[in-house]
Amino acid sequence: MASNPAFTAVKIKFGTSGWRALIADEFTFANARRVSEAIAGHVLSRSKQPTLIVGHDPRFFSEEFARTACAVLRAHRIGVLLCEQPTPTPAIAYEILRRKTDGAINFTASHNPAEYHGLKFSGPDGGPALPEVTKDIEARCETIAPSGGAPGPHDMLEGVEMMDARPTYLARLAELVRFDAIAKAKLKIACDPLHGCGAGYLDRVLADHGIAVTAVRTNRDVLFGGHPPEPAEEYMAPLRQAMKETGAQVGLATDGDADRFGIMDAGGAMVSPNHILALLFDYLVESRGWKLGTARSVATTHLLDAVARHHGVAVYQTPVGFKYVGELIKQDKIALGGEESAGLSIRGHVPEKDGILACLLVAEMVATRQASLAEQLAALFRKVGAEYWPLRVNLRLSEELKQRTLERLQQDFTRFAGRQVAQSDRTDGTKLVFANGEWVLLRLSGTEPLLRLYTEADSPRNAERLAEEAQQWIHE
């Protein structure tokens, strides 16, 4: 079959969390077939009779892309379980483990804007595919003709089994979360799935346990209200309004595929995901009696380290990407693992980010401790004897400036922006830790065309000042 020159240049590249691209530009049906064909070859190299789950989020053409993958997999006689509705990434992860499948293909671009689509591949452990797996899939894509060789989206669907992940996943949440404590405290909750997969999951499980919950933006909107389905401060006005109208003490939000969380405190103030991770780690160690450590990515707050020291447990640092944290969940080495980009999971659960679980644990913590998140954070700072204020800035640089910056970051630093460097860390990007415990990290995003700048200091202003100094260094 002759290749179409228009597609020959498209190179499939998996980032921190799957393959993402613009719809109708690189994310096309032809390329979705190529990736599905490559995944089929990969799983067949590891199992003679594999079965995969195929899921999708509520984005434009999600169902059609999912059916395309099903057709390719069935052409290779691979067993297929197709989610009958938009399904959260953590629910798919749980079903992989429960059903003992060989993994899952999930069509989602997570928190990216509506013009993007994406594909996540998970292995039989329920976690995001590790680099050696995605490299194999990428290599296989290179050998597949751009026009495919695989069937169209409505062929070869015979034998596809439909599945609903919701009942069993919600039942699992009931084993992990103390809903009775939330109900007993008569906590009022507002939740916001941002038109994503969390709709019908987060609100449903709370209501099923008799908890007062008000939900906004639960309908399908492939444009996500005109902004990315990301639970960030600038997109949270509807949730803040719902809290004000109902007197809710906590606001809970999830992103497009419900693997990330966003938390709003009483009064409508957003709480940093970094602070939520530290609060929940401290709470789980105390409430569950888990004398286990924590895992964090290199970009995540050192407040977790301080909490770990307080409890006398270990800290594991990983590169950015939850797949690395998930490995420690699987090994039962940690009570909680998380990333500053609002992803976490806990002991005994899936080795994948679970934004729904994160939200529910926050609700339980607020109900049990009978204190606002701001009050709890102040108490945690007192407990560990210091304050930690992280900051992240997304930098859109010219290609020339970005390359120059990356080259300059390869040097051995003794000073940076007039500060004495106590430690250099190249786990992922370049992280410089200063004598007073403040730090700065510069790394390329694995999901977006950005250079990310992270800082942490003992006050919000000092974190901002450090970020300003780092940006001045970049533009020198």
Mean per-residue pLDDT, 88-114:
97
Measured on CA atoms in the order 375, 377, 380, 384, is the torsion positive or negative?
Answer: negative
Least confident of 141-150, 318-327, 348-357, 412-421: 141-150
Q: How many CB atoms lie within 10 A of CB 412?
A: 6
- CA distances to 271, 338, 429, 461 from 394, rounded to whole Å, are 19, 20, 14, 18
Choose the weakest-confidence range: 56-60, 271-275, 417-421: 417-421
C-alpha span between 251 and 342 (Å, rounded): 15
Residue 128: DSSP 8-state: B
220 lies in the same domain as 342? yes
Q: Tell whether 157 and 191 lie within a shared domain.
A: no
CATH code where residue 208 lies: 3.40.120.10
Together in a domain, 45 and 191: no
Q: Backbone phi, then psi, for 169, in 5-degree steps?
A: -65, -45
Cα–Cα distance, 70 to 83 (Å, whole number): 11
Same domain, 149 and 245: no
Phi, psi of 125 (to 5 degrees): -85, -5
Helix 373-384, helix 355-369: angle, nearest 10: 80
- Strands 315-318 and 419-425 turn out to be unpaired
Last residue of a domain, one of 384, 407, 422: 384
Cα 474 from Cα 476, distance rounded (Å): 6
pTM of the model: 0.94
Number of domains in the chain: 3
Q: What is the rounded CA–CA span in Å between residue 282 and residue 261?
A: 18
| Structure confidence by residue, pLDDT tens digits, 291-343 | 999 999 999 999 999 999 999 999 999 999 999 999 999 999 999 999 999 99
Tens of pLDDT along 209-260? Answer: 999 999 999 999 999 999 999 999 999 999 999 999 999 999 999 999 999 9
Residue with tokens 């228009």: 6
∠ Cα 347 439 354 (to 5°): 25
Cα separation, 294 vs 109, in Å, equals: 28
Range of the domain at 51: 19-164
Contact 61, 27 (CB under 8 A): no
Q: What average pLDDT does the segment 443-455 reach?
A: 83
Pairing of the two strands 79-83 and 51-56:
parallel
Cα 456 to Cα 354: distance, rounded to the nearest angstrom: 25
> Where among 351, 384, 417 does a domain terminate?
384
Task: State whether 103 and 229 are in the same domain.
Answer: no
Beta-bridge mates of residue 131: none
CATH number of the domain at 450, please: 3.30.310.50
- Closest Cα partner for 352 from 259, 435, 442, 441? 259
Same domain, 291 and 150: no
Check whether residue 365 and residue 403 sit in a common domain: no
User: Does residue 291 belong to any structural domain of this protein?
Assistant: yes
158 and 99 fall within a common domain: yes
DSSP conformational letter for 160: P
**pLDDT tens across 175-184, in order?**
999 999 999 9
